[in-house]
Chain A
Amino acid sequence: MTRQPWMRLAALLPEAPPSHAAAAALNLARRRLWPEEPFDWLIGRRLRFEVAGPDRGVTLTFDGERFVASRDAADCRFIASLADYLHLARRSEDPDTLFFQRRLRIEGDVELGLQLKNLLDATDWHKLHPVIS
């Protein structure tokens, strides 16, 4: 992949700030988005979302009560371009389609990744609007 200027810059940045920000955002949204989800499948397990190109990402786990950032090696890694992550977030692309087209990779514990993929598919994002509006 051709590394664009932003990728070279991103590759120099530390991962801790965005990981902590992502964990904080999830903790804010959790009760509203997933009131019945115990996230027991993520306790002691680490999921990493990696942006292909700069090879930077965020790694998260769940401590039984809160999402926390992690520096340890992930049990499961998602790897996609930033644009495709945005497509997935907007539900304008289907994750299986991106997988078929080799635009989304899942490495490590696939069951952990599938659990997350299906949770996101089942998430009613409209419930978040009152928070962000």
Chain B
Amino acid sequence: MSALSSPKLVCPAGSLPALRAAVDAGADAVYVGFRDATNARNFAGLNFGDTQLREGLAYVRRHGRELLVAINTYAQGGQTRQWQRAVDAAAELGADAVIIADVGLLDYAHRVHPQLRLHLSVQGSATNPAAIRLAHECFGIRRAVLPRVLTLAQVQQVIAQTEVEIEVFGFGSLCVMVEGRCILSSYATGASPNTAGVCSPASAVRWHDVNGHTEARLSGVLIDRYAPGDPAGYPTLCKGRFEVAGDTYYALEEPTSLNTLAILPELIRAGVAAIKVEGRQRSPAYVAGVTATLRAALDAAARPGYSVKRSWDTALANVSEGHQQTLGAYSRPWR
């Protein structure tokens, strides 16, 4: 049996109960965000205030796990101090690492808090060893989260050519994955995940029932109409159905979730340091279920004779967006 260590399981938390659920279900690390635009899940009522953060850190410490703080949006002109203060706050808290995308902010964190462990966010969009090496040389990053656009073979190649730990996504909703550069939401709402920390802000979303059909609108723009029984997705432009050349369909992409259960042994053999679950906007019930499933699968994948249990697939399928799961870019058999 290979002596490779099992990847760390990195799970999301948008609230203290979700953090506890992640720890209780076997997460090695939990990632969280502050209650502002410095993180990419800046939704009303979500995320951590000072008190919750301290309680969360204490809980994580008590169980020997890690707390990561995502400061993964891009500092906006004239407001860079807000992002820097977020880094200061994470350092003062004693977070195990901060997850940063913005190069200027990485530079700040590296200079002002040299002891603070830095992870290059998926939104940093580093897809090749040279980019990761540069971030390591310039800012001392210790881990890079790979964008969800690489095949399994490309992930293997990146890991073979870098000294920096590599984290990949293991489960969660997919989007168009223009990591760190997507401003599609801005066209309809004026806010995007990378600038305001929010894709399709709730204030712009309206659902309306018309004879059993649910219309989803974003700033008044009709982006989908669900017939009775149709699965719904998040109300984002990239997952809308639009009329193109007389045909109405998912013109950009169908709502889909990434599910890597089938390739966990390959990811482990490739030397992936950590596997991340998407979904800080989801409830403690989601975090508990997905974390427990990935924990069981990762433990099993580290032993010989691994196969995906039907109960794992069912558990993940139940909470998936769009009732469709995929290996995403990991599998590109036509390449």
B284-327 to A contact mask, C-beta < 8 Å, 1/0 = 11101100000000000000000000000000001111110000
A132 to B208, CA, bound (A): 38
Known: A100-B322, A114-B43. A94 touches B285 (CB 8 A): yes
Q: Which residues of A contact B285 (CB under 8 A)?
A: 91-94, 97
Known: A97-B318, A107-B209, A110-B206. A115 touches B45 (CB 8 A): yes
B68-79 to A contact mask, C-beta < 8 Å, 1/0 = 000000000000
For residue B249, CB closer than 8 A to chain A, the reply is no
For residue B220, CB closer than 8 A to chain A, the reply is no
For residue A105, CB closer than 8 A to chain B, the reply is yes
Q: List 11 A-B contacts (CB under 8 A).
A: A91-B288, A96-B283, A96-B321, A101-B231, A110-B203, A118-B46, A119-B45, A121-B18, A121-B284, A122-B16, A124-B17
Q: Which residues of A contact B284 (CB under 8 A)?
A: 91, 121
For residue B127, CB closer than 8 A to chain A, the reply is no
A12 to B322, CA, bound (A): 37
Do the beta carbons of A118 and B321 come within 8 Å of each other? no
Do the beta carbons of B229 and A95 come within 8 Å of each other? no
Do the beta carbons of B232 and A118 come within 8 Å of each other? no
Least CB distance, B225 to chain A, in whole angstroms? 13
Q: Given A97-B286, A117-B45, A122-B15, 11 other A-B contacts at CB below 8 A?
A: A36-B51, A94-B319, A96-B281, A100-B255, A110-B203, A114-B43, A115-B45, A117-B283, A118-B15, A118-B43, A119-B45
Do the beta carbons of A111 and B286 come within 8 Å of each other? no
Pick the contact of A102 from B43, B203, B229, B286 — CB < 8 Å?
Answer: B229
A108 to B284, CA, bound (A): 25
A67 to B287, CA, bound (A): 30
Do the beta carbons of B207 and A110 come within 8 Å of each other? yes
Do the beta carbons of A111 and B203 come within 8 Å of each other? yes
Least CB distance, A113 to chain B, in whole angstroms? 8
A-B contact count (CB 8 A): 97
For residue A116, CB closer than 8 A to chain B, the reply is yes
B17-59 to A contact mask, C-beta < 8 Å, 1/0 = 1100000000000000000000000011110010110000000
Interface size, chain A (Cβ < 8 Å): 30
For residue A106, CB closer than 8 A to chain B, the reply is yes
Do the beta carbons of B207 and A107 come within 8 Å of each other? yes
Name the CB-closest residue of A to B320.
Answer: A100
Name the CB-closest residue of B to A101.
Answer: B231
Most buried by A among B46, B228, B289, B322: B46
Do the beta carbons of B282 and A105 come within 8 Å of each other? no
Least CB distance, A16 to chain B, in whole angstroms? 25
For residue B12, CB closer than 8 A to chain A, the reply is no
B203-221 to A contact mask, C-beta < 8 Å, 1/0 = 1011111000010000000
Interface residues of A in 41-74 (CB under 8 A from B): 41
